[in-house]
C-alpha cells in the first residue's frame, strides 16, 4: 500500500487540451500525516513552454487547491473545497503557487489536488493527480515559544501557547545530558483555550549548565513533550574542594580560577607552614615529600578562603 501511495505522490498527470498553453508542471507534496490545526503548505510549479518569461509570472495563469474528505482513500469526496493559490516568484521560468490548506482540514482522511488555468478557458488546464493525507487529532497544545535565561543563579524559563485543548498542567523537567530528566515543578495549564497564553517558571540552579523541557499533561493523562533547550549558568561558581583525602601524595584542588591570584599552603597542626604549593593547569600538585600525618591545606582565592584537614598516608 505504501509503495502505491508514494507512486501516487511522485507521478503526476496533466491535461493538454490547448496546445498553445504547452503546460509543464509539478505538484509538490508536503510530508504527512499532520495533526488537526497544523500547517499543510501545498505548492505547484507550472509554466507555459515558450511563453512564460524567466522568473516571471505567466500571463493569465491562475491556480487552485481542490480538496475533500473521504471515508477511505479512493472514495467519493465530501466537504469539497476550492481555494485560490497565491503566486510566489521562483527562480528560473517556473511559476510557483502556494496555499496552506491545513486550517481547513479536520481530523480524518483527505484527498487533494491542484489545478491551473490558462487565459480563463476551462479547456486550457493543467491538473495534478489526487494526493492523499491523514489528519490526526489536534495536538493538546500549540507551543509557540519556549526559552530561558540566567539571572544570578536563577534560571528563568518562559513559554507561550497559541491554543490549548484539555491542558491540565505543565511539568518542568531538567537534566544534565539532554537524555535523562527529573521533574522540577508544575505550572497549571488553561484547559481549553483559543487565545495566546504565557507561562514562566524560576529554577534556582546549582549547576554550570542544564537542559530543560516541558512535559504537558492532559486531563485524561495524555502526555506530550516540548523541544529541549540548553542554558548555561554564567553566574555559577564551582566550590573549592580537594581530593583524594586521604592521599598518598597526589592532590587535586577544584574550583580555583588558576589564572587569578590565589595562594595554597600546607600547615602542620601547630600552625607552622611547611610547604607552599604550586598547582599545574589541572589544579594538581604533589605532596609525596611530606611525612605521614594530619595537615591543614589553606587556600586563599580571589573571593574565597577555605581550610581543609588532609590526611597524608
The pLDDT tens digits for 230-260 are 888 766 556 677 888 898 888 888 777 655 6
- pLDDT for the residue numbered 8: 30
Alpha helices in the chain (DSSP H): 2-10
Architecture of domain 241-312: Sandwich (2.60)
Query: What three-state secondary structure class fits 232?
Result: strand
Could you read off the pLDDT of 137-159 as tens digits, one per residue? 877 788 888 999 888 778 999 99
Residue 93 has pLDDT above 50, yes or no: no
Of 189, 190, 167, 180, whose CA–CA distance to 213 is shortest? Answer: 180
Superfamily of domain 141-232: Immunoglobulins (2.60.40.10)
Query: What three-state secondary structure class fits 181?
Result: coil
Every domain of the chain with CATH number 2.60.40.10 lies at 2-136, 141-232, 241-312
CA distance 150 to 194: 31
Of 275, 243, 239, whose CA–CA distance to 257 is shortest? Answer: 239
So what CATH class is 2-136?
mainly beta
- pLDDT for the residue numbered 3: 35
Residue 269 has pLDDT above 60, yes or no: yes
Residue 90 has pLDDT above 60, yes or no: no
- pLDDT for the residue numbered 237: 58
Q: What angle do CA 117, 119, 121 make, to 5 degrees?
A: 65
Instruction: State if pTM tops 0.85.
Output: no
Residue 160, phi-psi category: left (phi > 0), alpha (psi -120 to 50), beta (remainder):
beta
Q: Contact at 8 Å (CB) between 66 and 114? A: yes
Residue 76 has pLDDT above 50, yes or no: yes
Confidence of residue 187 (pLDDT cuts 50, 70, 90): very high
Amino acid at each position: 500500500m505504501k509503495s502505491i501511495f508514494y507512486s501516487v505522490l511522485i507521478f503526476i498527470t496533466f491535461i493538454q487540451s490547448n496546445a498553445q498553453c504547452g503546460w509543464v508542471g509539478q505538484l509538490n507534496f508536503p510530508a504527512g500525516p499532520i495533526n488537526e490545526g497544523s500547517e499543510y503548505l501545498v505548492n505547484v510549479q507550472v509554466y507555459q513552454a515558450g511563453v512564460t518569461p524567466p522568473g516571471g509570472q505567466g500571463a493569465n495563469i491562475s491556480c487552485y487547491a481542490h480538496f475533500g474528505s473521504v471515508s477511505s482513500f479512493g472514495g467519493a469526496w465530501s466537504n469539497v473545497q476550492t481555494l485560490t493559490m497565491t503566486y510566489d516568484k521562483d527562480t528560473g521560468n517556473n511559476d510557483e503557487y502556494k496555499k496552506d490548506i491545513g486550517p481547513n482540514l479536520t481530523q480524518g482522511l483527505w484527498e487533494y489536488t491542484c489545478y491551473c488555468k490558462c487565459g480563463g478557458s476551462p479547456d486550457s488546464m493543467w491538473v495534478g493527480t489526487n494526493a492523499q493525507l491523514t489528519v490526526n487529532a489536534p495536538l493538546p497544545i500549540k507551543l509557540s515559544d519556549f526559552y530561558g535565561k540566567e539571572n544570578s543563579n536563577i534560571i528563568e524559563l518562559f513559554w507561550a501557547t497559541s491554543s490549548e485543548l484539555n491542558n491540565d498542567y505543565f511539568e518542568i523537567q531538567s537534566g544534565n545530558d539532554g537524555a535523562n530528566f527529573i521533574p522540577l515543578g508544575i505550572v497549571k495549564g488553561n484547559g481549553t483555550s483559543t487565545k495566546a497564553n504565557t507561562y514562566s517558571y524560576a529554577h534556582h540552579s546549582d549547576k554550570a549548565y542544564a537542559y530543560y523541557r516541558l512535559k504537558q499533561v492532559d486531563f485524561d493523562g495524555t502526555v506530550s513533550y516540548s523541544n529541549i533547550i540548553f542554558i548555561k549558568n554564567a553566574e555559577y561558581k564551582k566550590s573549592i574542594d580537594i581530593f583524594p583525602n586521604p592521599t598518598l601524595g597526589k592532590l587535586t584542588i577544584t574550583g580555583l580560577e588558576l589564572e587569578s591570584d590565589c595562594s595554597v599552603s600546607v600547615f602542620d597542626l601547630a600552625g607552622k607552614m611547611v610547604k607552599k604549593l604550586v598547582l599545574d593547569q589541572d589544579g594538581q600538585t604533589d605532596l609525596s615529600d611530606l611525612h605521614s600525618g594530619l595537615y591543614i591545606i589553606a587556600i586563599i582565592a580571589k573571593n574565597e578562603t577555605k581550610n581543609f584537614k588532609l590526611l597524608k598516608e
